[in-house]
Structure 1
């Protein structure tokens, strides 16, 4: 769990003061290894993400002087969670082509 202070802006209205907005950052146990038993590669992927959230409310002030309450998601806790391993963007899977001669 990392801490960050920032102003919240929504519909051209902004928080009068910076608010605490925690976020998740870190590395988790992710690997790829060959399995002799399966005769294939085995993948284990996990990512750092929020595990507990709460709603926080802040007052936003608009250019015309109006103000209203705005609720945002506040990260309380982070952890490593399993995820599906997929090919990275831009990587192509090689496929066997077949041709029919006439």
Structure 2
């Protein structure tokens, strides 16, 4: 069975460095499941994994003006999703294997 991601869109204000868009902007995104499976191969005597991710396949850069608290207007460029699709990706450790996580620290 093959799955097709859905192209979604929402309206939102963009804020960056305390400056905000005067109007909401259209912000498309991708959502959905793709064909991913784990299957035992008797020929290879191992589990075979196939993984794919829902991801943007085409995007463009868009620029919007942001208004700052001091009244200045500054341009801000963001990625605008135009198409979604399933792309192959590397599968992570198989179920049942211990996954060691790295610790991350935030300096204040």
Q: TM-score interval w.r.t. the shorter chain?
A: 0.7 to 0.9
Against the structure 1 CA distance between its residues 10 and 88, is the aligned structure 2 distance closer, same or farther, given a 3 Å change threshold? farther
Deviations 1:27-67 (A, max 9, x none): 00000000011011000000000100101110100001110
Deviation at 1:87, TM superposition (A): 2.5
Deviation at 1:9, TM superposition (A): 0.4
Report which stretch shifted further, 85-94 or 7-16.
85-94
Unaligned runs of 5+ in 2: 1-8
Q: In the alignment, what sits opposite 1:15?
A: 21
Cα root mean square deviation, aligned = 9.2
Unaligned runs of 5+ in 1: none
Deviation at 1:5, TM superposition (A): 0.8
Paired with 1:99 and 1:51, the residues of 2 have a C-alpha distance of 33
Paired with 2:86 and 2:62, the residues of 1 have a C-alpha distance of 24
Against the structure 1 CA distance between its residues 90 and 54, is the aligned structure 2 distance closer, same or farther, given a 3 Å change threshold? farther
Helix, strand or coil: the match of 2:28?
coil
Deviation at 1:13, TM superposition (A): 0.2
Deviation at 1:101, TM superposition (A): 44
Against the structure 1 CA distance between its residues 39 and 100, is the aligned structure 2 distance closer, same or farther, given a 3 Å change threshold? farther
Paired with 1:94 and 1:66, the residues of 2 have a C-alpha distance of 47
After TM superposition, the score normalised by the length of structure 1 is 0.84
Helix, strand or coil: the match of 2:32?
coil
Helix, strand or coil: the match of 2:81?
strand
Larger Rg: 1
